A and B are shown apart, each in its own frame.
Chain A
Amino acid sequence: MAQIRKANGIVDWLDQRLAVHKLLDVLMNKYWIPKQINFLWAMGVILTTLFTILFVTGLLLVMYYKPDVALAFDSVNKTIMQEVEYGWLWRHMHGVAASVVFLVIYIHMLTGIYYGSYKKGREMIWISGMLLFVVFSAEAFSGYMLPWGQMSYWAAQVITNLFGGIPFIGDALVVWIRGDYAVSDPTLTRFFMLHVCLLPIVIIMIIVFHFYSLRIPHVNNEIAEELDFDLEAEKYMAGDTKGSKVIPFWPGFLSKDFVYISLFMIFFFYLVSFKFGFAMDPINFDPADALKTPAHIYPEWYFLWSYEVLRGFFFDVGGVKAFDIGLAAFGIAQVIFFLLPWLDRSDVVKPAHERPLFFIWFWVLLIDLIVLTVYGKLPPTGINAWVGFYASIVFLLLLIVVLPVITIMEKKGAKK
Chain B
Amino acid sequence: MRELKIFLVVVAFTALTYWGVEPYAHSIMKPHVSPANFNFAEEDLSFAKGIVADKEMLLVQAQKENNATQIENATKALDVAKENLAKNEALWASVEKIDFAKGDASKGKAFFEGNCFACHGLKEDGIASNFTDSSAYGVIPPDLSSAALLYDEKFLAALILNPALALKVDHKFGDAFIMTAYNSETSGESEEIVNQNIADVIAYLKEMALKFEEKENARIKQEVEEKYAKVEESAEKTALMEKETIFAKERMLFVESCGRCHDMRYDGFFSPSAKNDLKGYLGSIPPDLSMMIRSRGEQYLNDFVNNTQKLLPGTAMPRVGLNEATQAKVISYIEKVGDSKKEERESLGIYIMIFFVILSVFAILWKRSIWSKLH
Chain A interface (Cβ within 8 Å of chain B)? 35, 38-40, 74, 77-78, 81-82, 88-89, 92, 103, 107, 241-242, 247, 251-252, 255-256, 258-259, 261-263, 265-266, 269-270, 272-274, 278, 280, 282-287, 295-296, 301, 304, 366, 370, 373-374, 377-379
A-B pairs, top 6 by smallest CB distance, nearest first, are: A273-B349, A374-B20, A285-B295, A285-B294, A262-B360, A377-B25
Shortest distance between the CB of B151 and any CB in chain A (Å) = 29
Residues of B within 8 A of A266 (CB): 353, 356-357, 360
| Known A35-B374, A88-B344, A285-B294; further 14 A-B contacts with Cβ < 8 A | A38-B3, A39-B7, A82-B266, A82-B341, A103-B14, A252-B370, A252-B374, A266-B356, A269-B349, A282-B296, A286-B291, A370-B17, A370-B20, A378-B28
The answer on a CB contact under 8 Å between A241 and B346 is no
The answer on a CB contact under 8 Å between B360 and A252 is no
Shortest distance between the CB of A367 and any CB in chain B (Å) = 9
Decide: A242 near B375, CB < 8 A? Known: A259-B363, A273-B345: yes
Question: In whole angstroms, what is the CA distance A248 to B358 when docked?
Answer: 26
Decide: A265 near B367, CB < 8 A? Known: A241-B374, A247-B374: no
What 1/0 flags go to B173-208 for Cβ under 8 Å of A?
000000000000000000000000000000000000
Q: Which residue of B lies closest to A261 (CB)?
A: B363
Residues of B within 8 A of A247 (CB): 374
The answer on a CB contact under 8 Å between A273 and B352 is yes
The answer on a CB contact under 8 Å between A269 and B295 is no
Question: What are 23 residue pairs bridging A and B, where the CB atoms are less than 8 Å apart in the complex?
Answer: A38-B2, A38-B3, A39-B6, A40-B6, A251-B370, A259-B364, A263-B360, A269-B349, A273-B348, A273-B349, A274-B346, A278-B22, A280-B294, A282-B297, A284-B295, A285-B295, A301-B17, A366-B13, A370-B16, A373-B17, A374-B17, A374-B20, A374-B24
The A interface, classified by DSSP as helix, strand, loop or mixed, is: helix
Shortest distance between the CB of B236 and any CB in chain A (Å) = 19
The answer on a CB contact under 8 Å between B346 and A262 is no
Question: In whole angstroms, what is the CA distance A263 to B20 when docked?
Answer: 25
Residue in A262, A272, A280, A285 whose beta carbon sits within 8 Å of that of B349 in the complex: A272
The answer on a CB contact under 8 Å between B291 and A77 is yes
Decide: A378 near B25, CB < 8 A? Known: A269-B356, A273-B345: yes
What 1/0 flags go to B277-293 for Cβ under 8 Å of A?
00000000001001100
Chain B interface (Cβ within 8 Å of chain A)? 2-3, 6-7, 10, 13-14, 16-18, 20-22, 24-25, 28-29, 265-266, 287, 290-291, 294-297, 340-341, 344-346, 348-350, 352-353, 356-357, 359-360, 363-364, 366-367, 370-371, 373-375
Question: In whole angstroms, what is the CA distance A270 to B346 when docked?
Answer: 10
Residues of A within 8 A of B345 (CB): 88-89, 92, 273
Shortest distance between the CB of A153 and any CB in chain B (Å) = 14
The answer on a CB contact under 8 Å between A259 and B360 is yes
Q: Which residue of A lies closest to B18 (CB)?
A: A278
Q: Which residue of A lies closest to B375 (CB)?
A: A242
The answer on a CB contact under 8 Å between A286 and B295 is yes
Shortest distance between the CB of B26 and any CB in chain A (Å) = 9
Question: In whole angstroms, what is the CA distance A49 to B301 when docked?
Answer: 38
Residue in B10, B20, B353 whose beta carbon sits within 8 Å of that of A269 in the complex: B353
Residues of B within 8 A of A270 (CB): 349, 353
Residues of B within 8 A of A304 (CB): 21
Question: In whole angstroms, what is the CA distance A296 to B24 when docked?
Answer: 15
The answer on a CB contact under 8 Å between A39 and B346 is no
Residues of B within 8 A of A265 (CB): 356, 359
